[in-house]
Amino acid sequence: MSILEIIKEPWPWYVAGPLIGLTVPILLIIGNKSFGISSSLRHICAACIPANISFFKYDWKKESWNLFFVFGIFLGGFIAAHFLSNPNAVVITPELSEKLATYGITDHTGLVPAQLFSWESLLTLRGFIMIVVGGFLVGFGTRYAGGCTSGHAIMGLSNLQWPSLVATICFMIGGFVMALLILPYILSL
Amino acid sequence: MNHLENKNTDGEGINASHKKENGLANLKYLIVGIFFGIVFVKAEIISWFRIQEMFNLESFFMYGVIGSAVAVGVISVFLIKKFNIKTLQGEKIEIQPKTFNKGQIYGGLMFGFGWAITGACPGPLFAQIGTGATVIVVTLLSAIAGTWFYGLIKDKLPH
């Protein structure tokens, strides 16, 4: 198998996890930057729609590195999907596959399931909740918590910050409650 | 003004550098971002299915990713502090401590809800759009609206 073929296969967790962890020292060493992604959403607000709100009055240009970083993530997504993509469908566990089939979700070809997240589904109640309400909760919740998976669960825990452990535990509790207790109702809509 | 005063009050993703960087220096963050986006896609971390498997306790995969990322991060930060490693510009590396407030509980739970619904945290949203899932632009705009709304009502919320 050529190297490119190996790269095109889905990467195992023990490759991906350490590479993500390495982002922490790389950003610190190349420019004294603390890893964190959700703050980019705040910088976008501060740059585009500050509306005289004190939370958005700060020198966002000093944090513009963060906007370059997330634009890079977008480009990385493009490159991986167009030049390094795995031609096969996402392999999912039989349990999940069976469960999703009961909600009519049978297409596993994309990383983002088209039967849930598409322009057509946006106009349905289920699609609206998944796309719009879900996004709103991500943006509101991360800022209220002061960080997301990168800022708290990875950067905060790497620096042994207990408030980040509290946040990470709450992320997980929220995720379990939603996925196990509430999402089944949303998916049945 | 102290250089750390111009930080996010919540201290996430901050620039602790004392030096002003020109636009070109920002390209290095773009490159790290590209590398990061590729990892996101290739490990299928941005897949809605992987996040469902995680929250349904059906697969070890995401726990392995996050656990090993944290382990590498902890060791890296420990080594940076122990050997007093400087930045490439010769500065002392500074990491702002996190201070506890109730937002980490309430906001954390809300983000957890959103994470399980969308199957994405903020980073994966950008990568998903890059892969061609254009409707996720709406999710991203809604997340920006959520951040903005938080800023608007912040003082009325328990912290």
CA distance A155 to A168: 11
- Per-residue pLDDT tens for B61-92? 999 999 999 999 999 999 999 999 999 999 99
Task: Tell me which residues of chain B have a pLDDT lower than 70.
Answer: 1-9, 11
pLDDT, residue B2, reads 36
A189 Cβ under 8 Å from any chain B Cβ: no
Q: Is A149 within 8 Å of B121 (Cβ atoms)?
A: yes
A 84-143 near B (Cβ less than 8 A): 84-86, 90, 92-93, 95-96, 99-100, 108, 110-113, 116-119, 121-122, 129-143
pLDDT, residue B9, reads 54
Chain B CB contacts of A27 below 8 Å: 29, 32
Torsion region of A160: left, alpha or beta (phi above 0 gives left; psi -120 to 50 gives alpha): left
Q: CA B96 → CA A16, A149, B5, B53, distances in Å? A: 26, 17, 11, 34
B 89-148 near A (Cβ less than 8 A): 89, 91, 93-101, 103-123, 125-136, 138-148
- Please indicate whether, in this complex, the C-beta atoms of B47 and A111 are within 8 angstroms of each other: yes
DSSP one-letter code for A95: H
Does A6 score more than 90 pLDDT? Answer: no
User: Both tokens of residue B50?
Assistant: 């992987």
Half-sphere exposure of B109 (CA within 13 A, CB side): 5
The model's pTM: 0.94
- Average pLDDT on A49-69 reads 94
DSSP one-letter code for B96: P
What number is the ipTM of this complex?
A: 0.95
Chain B CB contacts of A168 below 8 Å: 108
Domain ranges (residues) in chain A: 1-85, 118-188
In the chain, the amino acid numbered B93 is I
Q: Which phi and psi (to 5°) does residue B154 adopt? A: -45, -45
Q: Is B35 within 8 Å of A76 (Cβ atoms)?
A: yes
User: Both tokens of residue B49?
Assistant: 């299915």
User: How does DSSP assign B104-129, residue by residue?
Assistant: HHHHHHHHHHHHHHHS--HHHHHHHH
CA distance B138 to B122: 13
Chain A CB contacts of B25 below 8 Å: 31
Alpha-carbon torsion (A17, B104, B47, A34), positive or negative: negative
Of the candidate ranges A61-75, A148-162, B13-27, the one whose mean pLDDT is the lowest: B13-27
CA distance B1 to B109: 35
Domain ranges (residues) in chain B: 17-95, 98-158
Q: Quickly tell me which residue has 């951040």 as its tokens.
A: B147
